[in-house]
Amino acid sequence: MGNKFSCKAKNHSSNNGSKSSRRFGTNNNKSQRKLQATTDEELLHMQALSLAIQHHQSSQRFEGSMSRRIGSTSSRRIKNGDPQSNTTPKQQKQSPEVLENLETKKIVLIHGEGFGAWCWYKTIALLEESGMLPTALDLTGSGIDLKDTNNVTTLEEYSKPLIDYMQNLPEDDKVILVGHSSGGACVSYALEHFQHKISKAVFLCGTMVADGQKPFDVFAEELGSAELFMKESKFLIHGNGKDNPPTGFMFEKQQMRGLYFNQSPAKDIALAMVSVRPIPLGPIMENLSLTKEKYGKGRRFYIQTLDDHALSPDTQEKLVRENPPEGVFKIKGSDHCPFFSKPQSLHKILIEIAQIA
């Protein structure tokens, strides 16, 4: 029996506006005073953290909502050579009425290497507020999926939760796919096999590789060539013994902070540190087979993150130059995890892409 992995907002305030507190097994007065000062947003972080470390056996979906938006940021967009345009915070708020004429309101969020559905909790909340229908999936061996990552050897196996979702989608239904980082390879795989069910494919600082390339190639600037990495990296995991080829890798926490979270809030970094899992090597070392007849007909969009230390802006620019998508968007001040560092900017762009006819 599956359990839905949800993060629902609760009413934690009374009519007099006082902030509520929540006990976590301690009567310490100092801790109690700190909890009493906790805001709704901080409670949401705590709930997400609590849920992320519960290892249930099923539930491929992470869904949630919260009662208010989290700040405001700005983003810049380039599409088909048009000049960049700025938006004000007032323009960022979208109402369900504005979104009534979309081709689809279903948006499927695919996490990147080591992450899980849990990383999208801010994005899910904002999309639901705008009337969208978001679903976040745990890829095989990720999040709360219990499969041993050492046994995940192919991109097809790694992408199985997404493949199952697409196969179960009615023939006349469509979705928007969003793939973060190496999750972009899963989106490319889905485009090749389910192009007729995909309204738009969004690569979020993602591995938007061309036919014959492997997802790892995208990270060569930061990590070195695949061959060198497989021989010398200190982050490798030998799940089948030292005498056999490596099966995965896992960055040290300090390394992850510098590569992925250089602009992210401390609470989100803490959530990630207890939630990330080893990254299977097989799927990102696999050469993709993409055809013009299938993958080539898909509507692709790319979101660049301009303060990204894991996938540099220059590398992202090279990706869109060599494999041009329909539209390119940019988020200023975002690290490799805009769902943490710039959730409002990411949300605005996703809504804008959804509205493109």
Question: Residue 107 forms beta bridges with which residues?
Answer: 134, 176
Q: Based on the structure, what is the number of domains in the chain? A: 1
Q: Identify the domain containing residue 188 by its residue range.
A: 103-355
Residues 6+ apart with CB under 8 A from 28: none
**Which pLDDT belongs to residue 229?**
74
Q: Is residue 188 part of a domain?
A: yes
Can you give the pLDDT at residue 219?
Answer: 87
How confident is the model at residue 305, as a pLDDT?
Answer: 98
Q: Does some domain include residue 89?
A: no
Q: How far apart are CA 279 and CA 215, in angstroms?
A: 13
User: Is 126 part of any domain?
Assistant: yes
pLDDT recorded at residue 100: 73
User: Does residue 339 lie within any of the structural domains?
Assistant: yes
Residue 166's pLDDT is what? 98
Write down the pLDDT at residue 225: 67
Question: Sign of dihedral through CA atoms 152, 49, 182, 79?
Answer: positive
Low-confidence ranges of the chain (pLDDT < 50): 1-40, 53-97
Q: Residue 182 CB: number of other CB atoms within 10 A?
A: 26
pLDDT of residue 116: 98
Query: Domain for residue 265, yes or no?
Result: yes
134: helix, strand or coil = strand
Sign of the dihedral through C-alpha 207, 282, 255, 270: positive
Taking the C-alpha atoms of residue 233 and residue 214, their distance in angstroms, rounded to an integer, is: 18
In a domain, 282, yes or no: yes
141 within domain boundaries: yes
Catalytically active residues are 181, 308, 336
Q: What is the DSSP letter of 118?
A: G
Look up the pTM and report it: 0.75
Is 192 in contact with 168 (CB distance < 8 Å)?
no
Q: What is the pLDDT of residue 165?
A: 98
Packing angle of the helix pair 343-355, 121-129 (nearest 10 deg): 50
CATH code assigned at 242 = 3.40.50.1820
Confirm whether 19 is domain-assigned: no
